Structure 1
Amino acid sequence: MSTPKPHAQHLEDDVHLSVLGYEDSFKRSMSFWANFALGFTYLSPLVGVYSLFAVALTTGGPPSVWWIVIVACGQLLVSLVFGEIVSQYPIHGGVYPWARRLWGRRYAWMAAWTYIWAMMVTITSVAEFGTGFFASLFDIELNAGISLAIALGFLLVALAINFTGTAWLARIARIGFLAELVGVIGVGLYLLIFERKNSFGVFFDSMGVAGEGSYTPMFFAAAITGLYLFYGFEACGDVAEEVSNPARRIPRAMQLTILVGGVSALFSFVGYVLAAPNLQDIVDGNVADPIPAILEDSLGIVGAKIFLVVALLAFVSCVLSLQAAASRLIFSFARDGMLPGHRWLSKVNPTSMVPNNALIVACTVPALFCVLIFFNENLLVPITSFAILGIYVAFQMVVLAALRQRFKGWKPAGPFSLGAFGMIVNIVALGYGIFAFILLATPGDTGDFLTDYVVHVGLGVVVITGLVYLFAAKPDGNSTAPEGDAIRVAAEIRERTGANRVVAD
């Protein structure tokens, strides 16, 4: 789908922000490419492919690669809807302010509450998955204690970099982006061209994962291959008030994140499958961690070590981007008085111009999850599964709110607009989201209740505790932040565009 052409002019950043009820509190030091790099390193195809490669092949065989294409198309539709929203509302926090301005404070509170916890456990899972790379690079034998120390190290390094300000966040994000390109596209192309041991026909061969039964259930079970990969693009909007010309740049950055991330993930996944010398053993589940073995066989010991260095850069950058995005969401939530300790959480460091206290929370909570995993390593996969479902719930709450406003007459007023196609794209994006819910919420069939329903239990705990706090403490009553004003704001932006300072594209 071609990207709609933006309007010729739009409001200057400070004027646009004043229309939305806020004043500039941050340095707008993030360029388009830095914003794109932030979203890309959060999405991180290297992290996603490495983390779930073995699961994908043992569950659905090589055809599981098609989920990368399917989910990329679905999430591209979601990113187009988000693009129209952030173009009208280029403010910190992403999902939370979007849901509030499109629906209301209580609705937004639940969306943000779910999203915050999903982000916290996503940070945890990325830090934990990265421990294997660190240990392999330095030939360290992993155990629970060493894994905890490495994961906490990732979190603290990311916190230290984030404390320095947006400029260093942008620099490290760009380094991480380059590492991702080398690690996924570069290595993937090399494996495809020089180390191919299997034919392309394997992507239409289930290789016996279904036994004598139907392959369809196994294919749908492998959907996590793509579903885990394609979120993170929304992080481009989480830092909107630190981006120059965000109303025009952020929508394009989100869409580019999906497109480049999808191509990168395909090159990586396809390259590993075709270069695997023992593909049937991997599909049969006889190789617990197949990617290092494939790399060592194809690149040699030295080449594999170089790849580990690149991968570590990507993991650190991913944790950094996740932590930054989570802190801006917490700041946005607290700025409107919607969280306990909101005055402390909404403080911005006058020197670095970043929300230090929110960053501390975005580091501490994942660190506590890492401690829980230290005592029970079996928690890692369940919390990762919860993160995916929680993110998709929050996303689709925004998509639903946007559709509701369209039916009430909302026509997005930012410089990025889908025009007449907006309603159609919004409806199809919601349909895709419902399809993803069904895939993610389908219980397993191991016979163990906790294993099969842990995602439902986790989401239930988050939703119930959120509702209890919402109706007992009434945080929405402490806030005077505007809500449900999409139609009014759109009208004011159109009026101001003709009367106030504008920026030509």
Structure 2
Amino acid sequence: MTTAERSGAVQDPDARRLADLGYTSEFHRDMSLWANFSLGFTYLSPVVGVYTLFAVSLALAGPPMIWSLVIVGVGQLLVALVFGEIVSQYPIAGGLYPWARRLWGRRWAWLTGWVYAIALLVTIASVVYGAGPYVSSLLGLTVSTNTTIVCALVLIVLVTVINLGGTRVLAIAALIGFGTEILGALVVGGWLLLAEREHDLGVLFDSFGAAREGSYFAAFLAAGLIGIFQYYGFEACGDVAEEVPDASRRIPKAMRMTIYVGGAAATFVCLALVLAVPDFGAVISGENADPVGGVLSTAFGDTGAKIVLAVVLVSFLSCALSLQAAASRLMYSYARDRMLPGSGLLARFSRSRGVPPYTLLVAAVVPAVVVGVSRFSEDAIVKIVSFAVLGIYLAFQLVVLAALRARVKGWRPAGPFTLGRWGFAVNVAALVYGVAAIVNMVWPRTPDAPWYDDYLVLLSGVVVVGVGVVLMAVTRPYRHSDAAADDAVRSTAAPER
């Protein structure tokens, strides 16, 4: 750094806070509160979450599946509050990894980051794969596995090029994505409710014969994947902490805004679609496998439906963009602490663009491989989504557990945002919710399928964690790092307020 740069860093409170935490950031602080919120919103993406799993969830549990959006929203708000306290004290790029590092230690942080990184990379694949059929429909192509894969790969290339533009380009793209998606959700949902509504609100309490041969409660839990898939992305606000001015105050607020606004938009879109589906029985029986496409075509005609599809595609694109940005910052944070093989390369930073280019490349190549492998699975989207969501939830709960452990040992959050005397109760409730959601995700529900298929989600989680533990034991990456760790209790002693 030049003398002028050092002088500026001394005067910059964000730089001083990072210096106190042991880091000098190379990122450009070009992301406003609204841009940071938009990043979280587009990652959470109401349109992507609802449109991807609407048909599956409606077929499993009928219209009452919409209540999972409310239940999961409350549970994930608890997690967001815990994360808000942590990022307020530790506004470091990479999110879950550096948080776990300061709360528990190097080994716990390495495993948390490993699980979160794998989940993020697979989630990118799930989003671009889910966008494939919409791209095909928009371009007038026959929807097939091959066209879906090709469209998904094109989207990966596109988001990588945009992300290489730097923080300012990412912020603008996130704001455009937010504006397009929220406007599309309001216009499409409003029109469906006003002009295409087929039912009254009473249908939200009627299963219409779903799960006729088994337990409806079990079917509702299975359909709840639409809610579980919906409510994450708020943590991405913290992944880019070194790109946000006054991060300790703004990021906790952006996280909460993501849950409030994203959850309301998702519930509104889902409600409009549910009330516009003409025949629930046809969806539940499998006769109507694409209720979203049918509703949109009926409501807007072929031309209007294509416009709506274009809006949906922007939502998928901005969601993948935010995911890739989060994954690249996570891996950069890892590599900066010399916690990864090839850290020397992965920690390289393009000062002109303000991004870590090699971690962005990894966040493009790995999802592309996952998309390619999906060709060998008949229900690839459900399996990819299930695996991705499980990984995200596991990583979340590793941090929530680390925070609870630190509280028991005396940690009192010392950032500008704290929950005060409610912190411990919220932390416990967040952990209970997260464990329950994980159990719901891994529960075997297809006894007629081969055992490995029935337990696929559980096996995928065991494999990811197991491989991470083995790699950590064999390579001991934490030995190469001298960055601060497990210092939350020692470095803060703020009284409860």
User: Same-fold call, TM > 0.5?
Assistant: yes
Q: Contact conserved, 1:20 with 1:489, CA < 8 A, in 2?
A: no
Partner Cα distance (1:12, 1:455) in 2: 44
Partner Cα distance (1:487, 1:233) in 2: 25
Q: After the TM superposition, which residues 201-212 of structure 1 pair with which residues of structure 2 at under 5 Å, given as runs?
A: 201-211=202-212
Q: Is it true that 1:436 corresponds to 2:444 in the alignment?
A: no
1:474 deviates by 0.5
Partner Cα distance (1:275, 1:12) in 2: 52
**Residue aligning to 2:41:** 40
Partner Cα distance (2:321, 2:84) in 1: 23
Q: Contact conserved, 2:72 with 2:228, CA < 8 A, in 1?
A: yes
Q: Determine what percentage of the aligned residue pairs are the same residue.
A: 50
Tell me which amino acid in the other structure corresponds to 1:396.
Q
Q: Contact conserved, 2:208 with 2:280, CA < 8 A, in 1?
A: no
User: Is the partner of 2:209 in helix, strand or coil?
Assistant: coil
Name whichever of 211-220 and 254-263 sits farther off.
211-220
Q: After the TM superposition, which residues 100-111 of structure 1 pair with which residues of structure 2 at under 5 Å, given as runs?
A: 100-111=101-112
Q: After the TM superposition, which residues 69-108 of structure 1 pair with which residues of structure 2 at under 5 Å, given as runs?
A: 69-108=70-109
Q: Contact conserved, 1:88 with 1:490, CA < 8 A, in 2?
A: no
Name whichever of 370-379 and 226-235 sits farther off.
370-379
Q: After the TM superposition, which residues 204-283 of structure 1 pair with which residues of structure 2 at under 5 Å, given as runs?
A: 204-211=205-212, 213-283=214-284
1:469 deviates by 0.8
Root-mean-square deviation (CA, aligned residues, Å) is 1.4
**Residue aligning to 2:421:** 420
Partner Cα distance (1:90, 1:212) in 2: 51
Q: After the TM superposition, which residues 94-493 of structure 1 pair with which residues of structure 2 at under 5 Å, given as runs?
A: 94-211=95-212, 213-448=214-449, 449-491=451-493
1:353 deviates by 1.1
Partner Cα distance (2:167, 2:215) in 1: 51
Tell me which amino acid in the other structure corresponds to 1:150.
C
Tell me which amino acid in the other structure corresponds to 2:470.
V
Count the aligned residue pairs: 483
Q: What is the CA deviation profile of residues 400-437 of structure 1, one whole-angstrom value per residue up to 9, with x for unaligned ones?
A: 11011111111111111111111111111111111112
User: Is the partner of 1:425 in helix, strand or coil?
Assistant: helix
Q: TM-score, normalised by structure 1?
A: 0.93
User: Is the partner of 1:228 in helix, strand or coil?
Assistant: helix
Q: Contact conserved, 1:233 with 1:254, CA < 8 A, in 2?
A: yes
Partner Cα distance (1:169, 1:305) in 2: 26
Q: Contact conserved, 1:54 with 1:288, CA < 8 A, in 2?
A: yes
1:287 deviates by 1.1
Name whichever of 232-241 and 211-220 sits farther off.
211-220
1:366 deviates by 0.4
Q: Contact conserved, 1:35 with 1:170, CA < 8 A, in 2?
A: yes
Partner Cα distance (1:220, 1:199) in 2: 24
Tell me which amino acid in the other structure corresponds to 1:317.
S
Q: What is the CA deviation profile of residues 429-487 of structure 1, one whole-angstrom value per residue up to 9, with x for unaligned ones?
A: 11111111221121113322122111112112111111111011100111111111112
User: Is the partner of 2:392 in helix, strand or coil?
Assistant: helix
1:212 deviates by 5.3
Tell me which amino acid in the other structure corresponds to 1:310.
V
User: Is the partner of 2:344 in helix, strand or coil?
Assistant: helix
**Residue aligning to 2:5:** none
Tell me which amino acid in the other structure corresponds to 2:383.
P
Q: Contact conserved, 1:118 with 1:391, CA < 8 A, in 2?
A: yes
| 4+ residue segments displaced more than 6 Å | none
Q: What is the CA deviation profile of residues 113-135 of structure 1, one whole-angstrom value per residue up to 9, with x for unaligned ones?
A: 11111111100010011011111
**Residue aligning to 2:9:** none
Q: Contact conserved, 2:62 with 2:280, CA < 8 A, in 1?
A: no
Q: Contact conserved, 2:209 with 2:281, CA < 8 A, in 1?
A: no
Tell me which amino acid in the other structure corresponds to 2:471.
Y
**Residue aligning to 1:49:** 50
Q: Contact conserved, 2:332 with 2:359, CA < 8 A, in 1?
A: yes
Q: TM-score, normalised by structure 2?
A: 0.95
Q: Contact conserved, 2:26 with 2:351, CA < 8 A, in 1?
A: no
1:24 deviates by 2.3
Partner Cα distance (2:281, 2:335) in 1: 51
1:377 deviates by 4.7
Partner Cα distance (2:424, 2:398) in 1: 16
Q: What is the CA deviation profile of residues 141-184 of structure 1, one whole-angstrom value per residue up to 9, with x for unaligned ones?
A: 13333222211110011000111111010111111111211232
User: Is the partner of 2:122 in helix, strand or coil?
Assistant: helix
Q: Contact conserved, 1:444 with 1:451, CA < 8 A, in 2?
A: no
1:90 deviates by 0.2
1:277 deviates by 1.9
Q: What is the CA deviation profile of residues 277-313 of structure 1, one whole-angstrom value per residue up to 9, with x for unaligned ones?
A: 2232112221111101101111222221110111111
